[in-house]
Amino acid sequence: MSTLSEEQVGEIPLELKADLDADLVNEFISDAREQLENIEQGTLALEKNAQNQEVIHTLFRAFHTFKGNAGFLDLTAISQLAHMLESLLDGARENRLQINLVIIEIILKSRDTLQQFVDEIEAQNSGKKPRQIILIPTAALKVSMRHMLSDATAHPAKSVPGHTSESAPADMKAAPTPALSHDEAITANSAHMNGATPHLVKVATSKLDGLVDLAGELLIAQSLIVQNISSPTVNRHALSRNLDQLNRISKELQRTAMAMRMVPIRGTLQKMHRLVRDIAAKQKKNVQLILEGEDTEVDRTIVEKIADPLMHMVCNAIDHAIELPDRRAAMGKHPTGTIRIRAYHKSGNIIIEVEDDGVGLNRERILEKALANGLVKPGATPDEKELLSLILQPGFSTAAVVTNISGRGVGMDVVQKNIAKLRGKIDIKSTPGHGTTFTLRLPLTLAIIDGLIIRVGGQRYILPAIAVRESFHPKSGKVTSLPGGVEVVEMRKEIMPLLRLREHFHLMDGADDAGGGIMVVIETDGKKRCLLADELVGKQEVVIKNLGEVFQTDPMVSGGAILGDGCVGLILDASALVHLEPETKELKFAV
Binding site for other proteins (CB under 8 A): 459, 504-507, 545-551, 554, 556-557, 560, 562, 566-570, 584, 586-591
Which H or E run includes 247? Answer: helix 236-260
CB of 552 to other proteins, least distance (A): 11
Determine contact, residues 250/218, Cβ cutoff 8 Å: yes
CB of 545 to other proteins, least distance (A): 5
Q: Which of 366, 359, 370, 355 has the alpha carbon at shortest distance from 429?
A: 355
How many CB atoms neighbour CB 7 within 10 A? 6
The residue (of 263 and 522) whose beta carbon lies closer to other proteins is 522
The residue (of 257 and 371) whose beta carbon lies closer to other proteins is 257
C-alpha span between 132 and 481 (Å, rounded): 64
> Measured on CA atoms in the order 228, 231, 237, 238, is the torsion positive or negative?
negative
CB of 316 to other proteins, least distance (A): 39
CB of 547 to other proteins, least distance (A): 6
How many CB atoms neighbour CB 17 within 10 A? 11
CB of 501 to other proteins, least distance (A): 9
C-alpha span between 125 and 132 (Å, rounded): 11
CB of 354 to other proteins, least distance (A): 37
The residue (of 442 and 501) whose beta carbon lies closer to other proteins is 501
Number of alpha helices (DSSP H) and beta strands (DSSP E) in the chain: 19, 18
DSSP 401: I
| Distance from chain centroid for Cα 366 | 28
The residue (of 19 and 586) whose beta carbon lies closer to other proteins is 586
HSE of 334, CA atoms in CB hemisphere, 13 A: 10
Burial of 388 from C-beta contacts in 10 A (0-12 / 13-18 / 19+): buried
Determine contact, residues 519/477, Cβ cutoff 8 Å: yes
The residue (of 276 and 456) whose beta carbon lies closer to other proteins is 456
Q: What angle do CA 20, 26, 28 make, to 5 degrees?
A: 85
Q: Which of 556, 498, 482, 503 has the alpha carbon at shortest distance from 530?
A: 498
| Distance from chain centroid for Cα 244 | 38
The residue (of 155 and 504) whose beta carbon lies closer to other proteins is 504
What distances in angstroms separate CA 583 from CA 499, 520, 531, 558, 579, one per listed residue? 12, 21, 16, 20, 12
The residue (of 261 and 441) whose beta carbon lies closer to other proteins is 261
CB of 576 to other proteins, least distance (A): 11
C-alpha span between 294 and 267 (Å, rounded): 8
The residue (of 134 and 572) whose beta carbon lies closer to other proteins is 572
The residue (of 235 and 546) whose beta carbon lies closer to other proteins is 546
Q: Which of 388, 392, 403, 390 has the alpha carbon at shortest distance from 433?
A: 403
CB of 445 to other proteins, least distance (A): 17
Contacts of 136 (CB under 8 A, 6+ apart): 14, 77, 113, 116, 117, 120
Burial of 522 from C-beta contacts in 10 A (0-12 / 13-18 / 19+): buried
CB of 481 to other proteins, least distance (A): 23
Determine contact, residues 359/402, Cβ cutoff 8 Å: yes
The residue (of 332 and 566) whose beta carbon lies closer to other proteins is 566
CB of 582 to other proteins, least distance (A): 14
Residue 470, φ and ψ in degrees, nearest 5: -160, 170
Which H or E run includes 568? Answer: strand 568-572
> Measured on CA atoms in the order 556, 558, 559, 565, is the torsion positive or negative?
negative
CB of 489 to other proteins, least distance (A): 22
CB of 510 to other proteins, least distance (A): 13
The residue (of 496 and 544) whose beta carbon lies closer to other proteins is 544
The residue (of 52 and 459) whose beta carbon lies closer to other proteins is 459
CB of 446 to other proteins, least distance (A): 16
The residue (of 450 and 554) whose beta carbon lies closer to other proteins is 554
